[in-house]
C-alpha cells in the first residue's frame, strides 16, 4: 500500500514529535508499505523517511521544481517526482497514494489536510485519512472542529471522513482495515 504523509519539515521540531516520527517510519516499513511524502530533508518528514529507508522500505518524494531553491530534496528517495507548483504536488500525492496520514505540521500540513477532506466530502476520492494526534498535538484543532460542528457549519457526517488516532500501530491498523472493509 502507498501511504502519503503530511507533516512538518521544520528543523525546530520538538523531540517528542521526532520520537513519534521514528516509530511511525519503522511501523510503515514493518508493514511493508511505501511512503509518499513532500521530499523534505528536515523535520518529521525526513525522520519518517529515514526510518522507512533504514528498514529497506520504499520512499517516493514529490516536490515542486522551484523548492530546490529553498532546500535540497530528501536524498534517499527511491523516486522523486518534480511538479510545477504546490497544487500539482497535492494532486500527485492524492493520485499516487492509497491512504493519508497527517502528523504534526504547520500551515502547509493543514492546507493539505483540509483539501483532502474537502475532496473526500465532494466524493472525488475515497481514501483513508488519518489525523495522527501524537502527543495530543491536534487536540486544539479537534476542539475547533467539534465547536464548528456544534455551531452547524460542519455537518456531523463530515467528522466521519477521517479517523483520529494516537499511536503508530493504531494508525496503520486503521488504514489496513479501512481497505479490507472496502472489499
Gap between the Cα atoms of 162 and 130, Å rounded = 6
Q: For residue range 50-95, what is the model confidence (pLDDT) as tens digits? A: 999 999 999 999 999 998 888 889 999 999 999 999 999 999 999 9
Residues shown for the chain: 183
CB burial of residue 6 (10 Å; 0-12, 13-18, 19+)? buried
Q: How many other CB atoms sit within 10 Å of the CB of residue 74?
A: 22
Strand pairing of 99-102 and 128-132? parallel
According to the model, what pLDDT value does residue 71 have?
86
CATH number of 2-182: 3.40.50.450
Instruction: Give the start-to-end residue ranges of the domains of the chain.
Output: 2-182
Taking alpha carbons only, the member of 75, 84, 66 closest to residue 39 is 75
According to the model, what pLDDT value does residue 35 have?
99
Tell me which residues of the chain have a pLDDT lower than 50.
Answer: none
Gap between the Cα atoms of 73 and 136, Å rounded = 29
Amino acid at each position: 500500500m502507498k501511504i502519503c504523509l503530511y507533516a512538518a519539515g521544520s528543523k525546530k521540531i520538538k523531540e517528542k514529535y521526532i520520537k513519534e516520527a521514528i516509530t511511525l517510519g519503522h511501523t510503515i516499513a514493518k508493514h511493508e508499505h511505501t511512503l509518499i511524502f513532500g521530499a523534505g530533508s528536515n523535520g518529521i518528514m525526513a525522520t519518517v523517511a529515514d526510518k522507512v529507508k533504514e528498514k529497506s522500505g520504499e520512499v517516493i518524494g514529490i516536490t515542486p521544481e522551484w523548492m530546490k531553491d529553498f532546500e535540497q530534496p530528501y536524498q534517499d528517495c527511491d523516486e522523486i517526482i518534480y511538479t510545477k507548483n504546490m497544487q500539482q504536488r497535492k494532486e500527485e500525492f492524492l493520485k499516487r497514494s492509497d491512504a493519508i496520514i497527517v502528523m504534526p505540521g504547520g500551515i502547509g500540513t493543514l492546507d493539505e489536510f483540509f483539501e483532502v477532506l474537502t475532496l473526500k466530502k465532494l466524493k472525488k476520492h475515497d481514501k483513508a485519512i488519518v489525523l495522527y494526534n501524537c502527543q495530543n498535538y491536534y487536540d486544539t484543532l479537534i476542539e475547533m472542529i467539534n465547536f464548528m460542528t456544534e455551531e452547524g457549519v460542519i455537518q456531523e457526517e463530515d467528522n466521519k471522513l477521517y479517523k483520529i488516532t494516537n499511536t503508530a500501530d493504531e494508525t496503520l491498523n486503521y488504514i489496513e482495515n479501512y481497505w479490507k472493509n472496502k472489499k
